[in-house]
Amino acid sequence: MSTQPPTRTSGPVPADSSPVGLEVEVDVGAVAHGGHCVARHEGRVLFVRHALPGERVLARVTEGAPRDSYWRADAVQVLRASADRVTPPCPWAGPGLCGGCDWQHARVEAQRGLKAAVITEQLERLGGVDVAAVPGLLGRPLEVEAVDGDGVDVEAGLRWRTRVQYAAGPGGRLGLREHRSHRVVEVDDCRIAAPRAAEVDPRATAWPGAESVEVVAPQPGEDRLLVVTPRRSDAGSGGTRRLRLPTPPEASSLAVVGDEGLTRVRGRTWVAQEVALPRGPRSFRVTGSGFWQVHPGAAAALAEAVVGFAQLQPGERVADLYSGAGLLTAALAAEVGGGRRGGERRG
């Protein structure tokens, strides 16, 4: 967040003056990718966070130069609110605070509508796709639906994220980064973290020498996993000597990211993920630092969607490139015959 004092204006900005810190009243237009809405001031585009379409806000410029075609800004005061606006359930959501959540100031249903608008715009503008003509929509607008396993607080859109990566600030205190910044905001709790991940209190322990600590919430009955990444200056040969590891919380495995992958400190370096694939459940072993969907229902939803679109027949061959943990490989292999000959994984 800029340390420059705000300057409120309704006129043009002098050509040789930095706009950062400038505050302007604007009418907010359509949603844009990345948690922004589009507004205009004196013919220049403003990408405004913490706003909603149709609102009038006081926007403070956070990034930009006098001759840039667009500036970035935060809505620091709402002058005319949208009917979709709510008080953010997380006290760390707002200008200059945690940059992790884009839309906590909107109703959950409205958040899905904003995502649908972004997807539609990207498909039509970048992909040249007429979304209304896509089979299955029949002229209806694209709709983002809720996914099974949407957390224990579905109404507020909270407590669903199974992986939370905390950044370590000065002295190893954990927090979350400000939007487009390296500044670490120390928080008491990540409100979207799943219950097992939220049991790890970021304020309870310092992690000297750490760059980040990722908390992986497992499926029921398993220990959670904490994955520690040392600071770059501490990585490599002898790096772990500078990294001081505290005693992890109970029911937690602990691993450290190194040049050769994960080093086990306590417990396991992986978690098991069981997914209800279209042709039956399948268990996957996912390395703690590996990619896996953070929403508990996303893996099954993606597998079902891909299988449905592919319309494969027994005996056909499938190439699943960049297959990761093999989620889609397993689902597609089951469709064409199930064995190794049905789906081949390399690298």
Q: What is the pLDDT of residue 15?
A: 64
Position 239 pLDDT exceeds 80: no
pLDDT band at 9 (very low <50, low <70, confident <90, very high): low
Sorted by where each begins, the domain ranges of the chain are 7-80, 163-269, 272-344
pLDDT band at 259 (very low <50, low <70, confident <90, very high): confident
Position 142 pLDDT exceeds 70: yes
**b/e map 202-230, b = 16+ CB within 10 Å:** beebbbbbbbbbbbbbbeeebbbbbbbbb
Q: Which residue has the higher pLDDT, 265 or 3?
A: 265
Can you read off the two tokens belonging to residue 299? 């893996």
Span 308-314, mean pLDDT? 93
Span 221-229, mean pLDDT? 93
Q: What is the pLDDT of residue 170?
A: 86
Average pLDDT, rounded, for the chain: 89
Q: What is the pLDDT of residue 339?
A: 53
CATH of domain 7-80: 2.40.50.140
Residue given tokens 């370096």 in the structure block: 269
Q: What is the pLDDT of residue 172?
A: 94
- The Cα 292–Cα 307 span in angstroms is 18
Of the candidate ranges 11-15, 107-111, 138-142, 177-181, the one whose mean pLDDT is the lowest: 11-15
Q: What is the pLDDT of residue 104?
A: 95
Position 235 pLDDT exceeds 90: no
pTM for this prediction: 0.86
Q: What is the pLDDT of residue 7?
A: 56
Most confident region among 21-25, 149-153, 170-174, 289-293 by mean pLDDT: 21-25
Q: What is the pLDDT of residue 345?
A: 39
- Are the CB atoms for 175 and 185 separated by under 8 Å? yes
Q: What is the pLDDT of residue 14?
A: 60
pLDDT band at 232 (very low <50, low <70, confident <90, very high): confident
Residue given tokens 């929403």 in the structure block: 295
Q: What is the pLDDT of residue 342?
A: 38
Q: What is the pLDDT of residue 137?
A: 72
